[in-house]
Structure 1
Amino acid sequence: MHQLKVGLDKHLLGLKGLSKTEILGILNRASYWENYPTKVTNYLSGHFVANMFFENSTRTRFSFEMAEKRLSTEVLNFSAAVSSVQKGESIYDTVKTLESMGIDAGVIRIKPIGVLQELAPKIKIPLINAGDGNNEHPTQALLDIYTMRKHFGYIEGLHVSIIGDILHSRVARSNLWGLLAMGAKVSFCAPRNMQAPELAEFAPYVSIEEAIKADVVMMLRVQLERHDQGMIKSAEQYRELFGLTEKRERNLKDHAIIMHPAPVNRNVEIDDSLIEHPRSKIFSQISNGVPIRMAVIERALT
């Protein structure tokens, strides 16, 4: 097999195939950074990290940038909208160009699936997947698992329901692989035309009534533009059939928590009043993204 020029353990392309030990290592290191006494450490001073976003993102890019700056790395932000990729330069050429200039790691968000896996063996620097198409979003799942572990104290044996557009969701896939590796049970709930049938062998599709019996109820953002494609009739109907309404919240287990990767469509996948409900971990998830990404960048660079 062709050997990577960078150790396999330096890239983070996805959670599929990552062991429980590797995931625990990242979670434990994130806990170290979360509790670090100062906001900025010189730990990775002198390293250059490029955030290469070939697809729009605000939250994920800012979270990575915050993590990088807390570790004192030099940050280069690269947006495809203003880049030569628009002029026909390939993604490989762009990454290779930045590598040639001396960056030490690349954080990449990209629409096409499989490109990162093709790039990794050809590039001499570690790559971190910040979301590729509907394939994976590993740091999102890691921060989700971190949030669950922080709340419950464990992951093994937890029942997690993921509700929404599974078909188009990289968050659902990364959470599935990461949670299964950690010994949790996963269920999916989705409209029939938003199910990914190939994932059913790993997590059963259940009704919304069944899904809300879990320990963790994770709602996914529904893309309202899917109206135009006829995948959902209306936002109101989606809320009625698959949304976490106040009425459904009353049927959750006493200890259950509510999660959402954000941004949230208020009163579509989740009622407005539940976003900052005592059960909700939505803003905790966003906070936890920074130490998780610090741990992932540290893993790539040390």
Structure 2
Amino acid sequence: MTMTTLKQRSLLGLKELDQEEIRSILDRAAYWEAQQEKVKPVLPGKFVANMFFENSTRTRFSFEVAEKRLGAEVLNFSAAVSSVQKGESIYDTVRTLESMGIDAGVIRLKPIGVLAELATKIRIPLINAGDGNNEHPTQALLDLYTMRKQFGELRGLNVSIIGDVQHSRVARSNLWALRKFGANVSFCAPEGMTAAELDAPHISIDEALKADVIMMLRVQLERHENGLIKSAEEYRQQYGLTVERAKRIAPHAIIMHPAPINRGVEIDDELVESPQSRIFPQMQNGVPIRMAVIERALS
């Protein structure tokens, strides 16, 4: 496989993809969602390794379901029970699996920049399943897919992303992808959780609630041992989507969240499955999106 073909089949991020390429993935996901057969083995004899060097539940299972629905052979790798714990480098682990004959790799990493470097050395398509706080392209794709299903088109849509933007790869991928379609993206973040390098307006929680899409981010409590968040309750009072705040959302607006959810912190429990919530449909949409991405990598 040439480097050009390899780059075309890999999915490292959405920042570098153009609108047409993203649209083609969304359209193919719609095709897969419309299929009545649960398993359609279009990739027989193809081996895909899910290489998760960072813990995940939803993303890993979503990829595995997508791979199996396409008829691929699936290898699940967990860093917690691998030679990485013995000091083996991420590169050596991926190179080892490549040497064993896998056809594509789905990778989730904590350190930023490692995935981009791997892509220059590994000769199989790689799919980014979460890259530090850099990008999470398949999450953004399923978010766009969810919005497109709801509103018909993305152009002119006002999207508020609320929460810890600084540490959010979801916020970055959504910003870069949505802007390619003419959507307006704004951030609402507590002081110390903003990302000055991202060229997007930062607005108040009151302004954020006026959007067509209210996207809540998970409060990453494990990253705030330095006291940026004094308490979960204080965060809820200042930036959480409470039942009281939700009364001010427009009737046509929808609530989104990449999950996992801290119920009662960034969003009140009663709102998670409310009529305006699309949180569980987002998860459902992740399967056809990832089917489209895997098919793109292996066809």
Q: Does 1:100 align with 2:99?
A: yes
Q: How many residues align?
A: 298
Tell me the SS of whatever aligns to 1:131.
strand
CA distance in 1, matches of 2:56, 2:84: 17
Do 1:214 and 1:256's aligned partners in 2 also have CA atoms closer than 8 Å? yes
Equivalent residue number for residue 155 of structure 1? 154
* Cα distance in structure 2, aligned partners of 1:77 and 1:18: 28
The match for 1:47 is 46
Q: Is the 8 A contact 1:4 1:120 kept in 2?
A: no
Residue segments in structure 2 that go unaligned for 5+ positions in a row = none
Q: CA deviation at 1:251?
A: 0.7
Shift in CA distance, 5/98, structure 1 to aligned 2, threshold 3 Å: farther
Partner amino acid, structure 2, of 1:17: E
| Aligned counterpart, 1:36 | 35
- The CA distance in 2 between the partners of 1:168 and 1:292, in whole Å, is 24
Q: Which of 262, 265, 284 is the equivalent residue of 2:281?
A: 284
The 1-side partners of 2:243 and 2:128 are apart by 35
> Which structure 2 residues correspond to residues 250-261 of structure 1 after superposition, within 5 A?
250-261=247-258
CA displacement, residues 109-162 of structure 1 (integer Å, 9 cap, x when unaligned): 001111111111211100000001101000000000000000111111101000
- Give the equivalent residue in structure 1 for 2:6: 7
Q: Deviations over 1:243-293 (max 9, x none)?
A: 011111111111100000011111100011100100000000000000000
CA contact (8 A) 2:6 2:124 kept: no
Alignment TM-score, normalising by the size of structure 2: 0.98
Q: Measure how far apart 1:241 and its partner are.
A: 0.4
Match of 1:132 in 2: 131
Note if contact 1:258-1:280 (Cα within 8 Å) is conserved in structure 2: yes
Alignment partners' CA distance in 1, 2:121 and 2:240: 44
Instruction: Give the residue type in structure 2 aligned to 1:292.
Output: I
Counting only pairs closer than 5 Å after superposition, residues 196-211 of structure 1 correspond to structure 2 as 196-199=195-198, 201=199, 203-211=200-208
Letter matched to residue 6 of structure 2: G
C-alpha contact 1:160 1:186 (8 A) present in aligned 2: yes
Alignment match of 1:275 (pick from 272, 275, 289): 272
Task: Check whether the contact 1:5–1:123 (CA below 8 A) recurs between aligned residues.
Answer: no
**1:138-149 residue pairs with structure 2 within 5 A?**
138-149=137-148
* Deviation, structure 1 residue 9: 1.2
CA distance in structure 1 between the aligned counterparts of 2:143 and 2:286, rounded to whole angstroms: 8
SS of the counterpart of 1:287? helix
| 1:203-242 superposed matches below 5 A | 203-242=200-239
Aligned-residue offset at 1:225? 3.0
> For structure 1, which runs of at least 5 residues remain unmatched after alignment?
none
Residue identity opposite 1:243 in structure 2? G
2:80 is aligned to 81
Distance 1:197 1:255 in 2: 31
1:182-197 counterparts in 2 under 5 A? 182-197=181-196
- Per the TM alignment, residue 226 of structure 1 is displaced from its structure 2 partner at its CA by 4.3
Q: Residue 232 of structure 1: CA displacement?
A: 0.5
Identity across matched positions, percent: 72
Indicate the RMSD between aligned Cα atoms, in angstroms: 1.0
Counterpart of 1:27 in structure 2 is 26
Structure 1 moving runs of 4+ over 4 Å: none
Letter of the 2:137 counterpart: P
Q: Is the 8 A contact 2:107 2:128 kept in 1?
A: yes
